[in-house]
Amino acid sequence: VPLMKLPENFKEMNVDQFWYNVLVLEDLGGRRVLKELVAFALDILVFPHSNASCKRVFSNINLIKTKPRNRLNTDTINGLLHTSQCVNLSGGCVNFKPTETMLRSFTSSKLYQQIWQHWIRS
């Protein structure tokens, strides 16, 4: 009688499914004895295989933050990066279809609300 047994199809599983199945393995006492191993394996799997994605982000930041736009704050740069990624994932600007929520949010009263509140308080 094996103490622990993986499912028969473990070789065909995705990595995250495999490690979940390892996590739920219990010994005869009902304890999950491989929790630390699973946590370690999942932590290792989070690391990128290369630094290409990091370089891509820094390259995009350099394209956004030019000399005329050198005062952009981190939140604005982050928003521009997310916007660019959203448009690219939808097939480019020609195929991008903003949602109703986006269209309602693209008004000057919404976009500049914090700025106006700052000016009113000053």
For the chain, the domains span 10-46, 53-121
Q: Does residue 82 register a pLDDT over 70?
A: yes
List strand residue ranges (DSSP E) for 9-114, in order: none
Confidence of residue 1 (pLDDT cuts 50, 70, 90): very low
Instruction: Encode 83-107: b = buried (16+ Cβ within 10 Å), e = exposed.
Output: eeeeeeeeeeeeeeeeeeeeeeeee
Query: Which pair of tokens denotes residue 119?
Result: 């000016």
Is the pTM value of this prediction over 0.85?
Answer: no
3-10 long-range contacts, CB within 8 A, separation 24+: 3/27, 3/28
pLDDT tens, 22-69?
888 888 888 888 899 999 999 998 887 788 888 999 999 999 999 999
Query: Which pair of tokens denotes residue 64?
Result: 């956004």
Helix 35-46 vs helix 15-23: angle between axes, to the nearest 10 degrees?
A: 160
